[in-house]
Structure 1
Amino acid sequence: MVQPADRQAALGRSSRGRAGRRVPVVAAAHPRAVVPSLRRRPAGGIVVRVLLVGDYPPPYGGIAVHLQHLTRTLPQEGIACRVLNIGPNRRVPNPEYEAVRGPAEFLRRLIQYGRAGYLLHLFTNGENRKSWMLALLVGLAGRIMRTPTVVTITSGGAPGYLGSAGSWIRFIARWAIVLPAAVVCRTEAIADAMRRWRPGDLSVIPAFSPTRLRPAERPPQDVVAFASAHGPLLVSVAILRSEYDLPTLLQAFRDLRKQHPAAGLVIVGGGQDEARVRELIELWQLGDAVLLTGWVTHETCLAIIRESDVFVRTTLYDGDASSVREALALGVPVVASRTAFRPTGPILFTPGDPDGLHAALVETLAVGGARRRASLAAPPASDEPLVALYRSLSPVSARVPAGRRGGARLSRKAS
């Protein structure tokens, strides 16, 4: 375990983490246009074109980070893509995505891209009515335009939502699952909830890919200063709302400071419950021991995770959380709530149990070095299954000569 006095020098290292821990060294990612020139010609001289539909940064939530990652990696596989941003920042102009301002415009864009020969791929959480309405619209647009569609359900809360939903929502969800050419789920538990309507061909594909591990060279200066004054350092990445269960995290952290008075907690993220989180920090007198960073870029988030002694995930339910896999891949011990799915590596505790979380943190810190080495064996995932799916579904109208630059641009004249 690294103590505060040792932390400042360790934070300046780029090829080794604190306490000499080796971590992957990957060049920092640079922003890239959504329709870059292809780096190489795909086999057969074709270009596959995909419209990615979902949230796009900022803020840097799970779906948004995944879509941004795909815009940087798919062109390297001969797959040109555009983004239709339906996230909270969709009204902010940005050359990296197309904006959409309402249901009518959303459907019109889907039809335009379908006519241009794009495969339509929606990423959605599946845990509310709006999510399933969007999935239904994508499936209908694909059938109308005779272009393949893919729907990815990301949230571990989707099975519970469907289990308690009324008959009308289940009717919408059923057709939203039946209509697309392919349905992707983040975990088997999510897929099991969909198999009543689509028993045969559901795909389970995690969002994490090793190519996403592009941490910034250093954390932000406020995090560096905070880390140099605290040890051990805990990090959690969360949207500040109820299902991320920050009260359990803060209560367990308060108790941990009885054994580790210099411990610090960095919470990366933002959300609607920030005021409540700050109230709890003040109530439990944790003001000097907790740092709320707000939203940061994915590269910065990885740099913060890399410098932690323990990564903590306290969600009440979850899909296949990429932040957990990222922490494991960076060699950081993980303590996580026991949800429907977790990869190999974390120490688990019962969701909503601060005493169980406290015990897991004490155990992890006691065996931190051994746990860190063991965590490196966590099974990886990659973009290959999704790339293969796109190629298998690519419509004939999307197959254009690879030498035609700009073939990914939307055109009303496209066949």
Structure 2
Amino acid sequence: MANQTKQLEELLRSEGISVEVVRHNRPYAPACLGRLPWVRALGRLIPYMWDLWKAGERASIFHVMANSGWSWHLFAAPAIVIARLRKVAVVVNYRGGEAEQFFRRSYFFVRPVLRLADALVVPSGFLHEVFGRRGVQAQVVPNIVDTDRFRTGPEAADSDLRGAHLVVARNLEAIYDNATAVRAFRLVKDHVPEARLTIAGTGPAAPALHRLVEELGLADAVVFAGQVENTRMPELYRSAAVAINPSLVDNMPISVLEALASGVPVVSTDVGGIPYLVEDGRTALLVPPGEPARMADAVLRLLRDSGLAERLAEAGQAAVLDYSWDRVRDRLFAVYEHAWTVARTRRGCTEPPIEGIGTERSAADDNRRIPRAPGHVAPPGSDDGGES
């Protein structure tokens, strides 16, 4: 979510729109608060809410990046309430892959706050259906992929340079089930001795995964790359023969889209929003979650059948163009226009609609009114999968 927020900020600025990002995790002041377990939560929450309140003086729209669980209650919900108190239009961009489970437990508390939003955006048909089952209308505006950076490089023309290099780019958390990918890799290596695996990500499951790699005798073939900067991810994908997504819960993982854009065939579990994102046998190979043997079989199919790998890669690259800014821009701006109109109507305001959003530009637009900042609120979570 952090990468999507940063990318959206840059793209909106490139359109001439003023953007202010309000973060929930700014450094503690004073720094000693971070060492006090009972105080540090308030040490961030109170400044965050104050920053939101001040941003309401300047913003025309709050674009709230929302997730499931405590992230919703502590960070998304306050942003929505403050936007309404400040009479600012609010767009909720809900991205939680665990939304169904979260709503079963907490929808009684989520619903009244969600109803305060002027527009609800989700990145996938999967979440659109989750909300639809509760009678809530959401607009699908997909995640954005930088197809200029994530693309096939010259080295991809020679498959020998990629060898049997497998890449997993998910944080090391239980819901992403990297352990199944490691076990699948053990089976792949039994058939392809030169195979190697890179795992890009950090998280609490790291010690257990390191132990598993040692137990399976894979220490010389597995690289834990840690948190890889997004600027370096295109190079990593272009070095891969196959990208693996082993998650148990998912919505619309940007890592899968970036792999497709890079011309890398993908093997993924078929959970959550994944079947809405790729088509089994056409743009990716899908397998059930938690089954290393099935995952290994799919990887081996791609390593052994270059024709299949090339067909999947080509189809995936064509499909991912729908997630480029050129394709997503107008859909997002239409949501902004709608939210702005709803908020104006609620206030009984006669102020004209936002100009320059969702409209064609011309030389006559030089003096158009640029809207004040859509206040971007980034709740916790830097990974894309569970949320997005």
Please report the TM-score for the alignment, with normalisation by the length of structure 2: 0.76
Q: Does 1:208 align with 2:149?
A: no
Output one character per residue of 1:110-159: Cα deviation in whole Å (capped at 9) or x when no partner: 22111223311121222x13323422212211221111111112122111
**Aligned mates of 2:287, 2:96 — CA distance in 1:** 20
- Partner Cα distance (1:287, 1:218) in 2: 30
Write the mapping of 1:227-266 to structure 2, written as runs, cut at 5 A: 231-266=163-198
Percent of paired sites with the same residue: 25
What is the DSSP-based 3-state SS (H/G/I as helix, E as strand, rest coil) of the residue aligned with 1:83? strand
Tell me, what secondary structure is at the counterpart of 1:332? coil
TM-score by length of 1: 0.71
Report what 1:78 is aligned to: 16
What one-letter code is carried by the residue in structure 2 that aligns with 1:129? W
Distance (whole Å) between structure 2 residues aligned to residue 176 and residue 407 of structure 1: 24
Quote the residue 1:115 is aligned against.
57
Structure 1 residue 340 corresponds to structure 2 residue 282: no
> In the alignment, is residue 106 of structure 1 matched against residue 48 of structure 2?
yes
* Alignment partner of 1:314 is 2:250: no
2:114 corresponds to 1:172:
no
Q: Deviations over 1:228-257 (max 9, x none)?
A: 7x8300011011010010110000000100
Identify if the C-alpha distance between structure 1 residues 214 and 246 changes in structure 2 by more than 3 Å, giving closer, same or farther: closer
What CA distance in whole angstroms lies between the structure 2 residues aligned with 1:349 and 1:406? 46
Q: 1:405 to 1:378 in 2, by over 3 A?
A: closer
Q: Is the 8 A contact 2:354 2:371 kept in 1?
A: no
Equivalent of 1:137, from 78, 83, 93?
A: 78
One-letter identity of the residue aligned with 2:293: D
Distance across 2 between alignment mates of 1:177 and 1:275: 38
Q: 2:248, 2:27 → 1: CA distance? A: 31
C-alpha displacement of 1:350 = 0.1
Structure 2 residue 104 is the aligned partner of structure 1 residue 158 = no
Q: What residue number does 1:305 align with?
A: 237
Q: What is the CA distance between 1:313 and its match in structure 2? A: 0.3
Structure 2 CA distance for aligned equivalents of residues 195 and 178 of structure 1:
14
Match of 1:389 in 2: 335
- Provide the residue aligned with 2:288 in structure 1: 350
Q: What amino acid is aligned across from residue 131 of structure 1 in structure 2?
A: W
CA contact (8 A) 1:177 1:198 kept: no
Q: CA 1:399–1:286 in 2, change beyond 3 Å: closer, same or farther?
A: same
Deviation at 1:196, TM superposition (A): 5.2
1:181-220 map, 5 Å: 181-195=118-132, 197-199=134-136, 201-211=137-147, 213=149
1:409 shift after superposition: 11
Mean CA deviation greater in 378-387 or 331-340: 378-387
**8 Å contact from structure 2 (residues 188, 300) kept in 1:** yes
Task: Tell me how many residue pairs correspond in the alignment.
Answer: 326
Give distance in 2, aligned partners of 1:372 and 1:121. 34
Counterpart residue number, 1:31: none
C-alpha distance in 1 between matches for 2:236 and 2:268: 18
What whole-Å deviation, never above 9, does each CA across 1:82-117 have from its counterpart, x for those lacking one?
A: 111225xx3189xxxxxx953332222222111223
Task: Give ranges in structure 1 of 5+ residues lacking alignment.
Answer: 1-62, 94-99, 220-226, 411-415
| Letter in structure 1 aligned against 2:93 | T
Q: Is 1:65 aligned with 2:16?
A: no
Cα shift readout 1:298-336 (whole Å, capped 9, x = no counterpart): 120121012100011000011111111111121110000
Q: Which residue of 2 aligns with 1:359?
A: 297
Report the aligned-residue RMSD. 3.1
CA contact (8 A) 2:177 2:246 kept: yes
Report the residue type matching 2:132 in the other structure.
R
8 A Cα contact 1:215 1:300, kept in partner: no
The gaps in structure 2 that reach 5 residues or longer are 30-41, 345-350, 356-365, 376-388
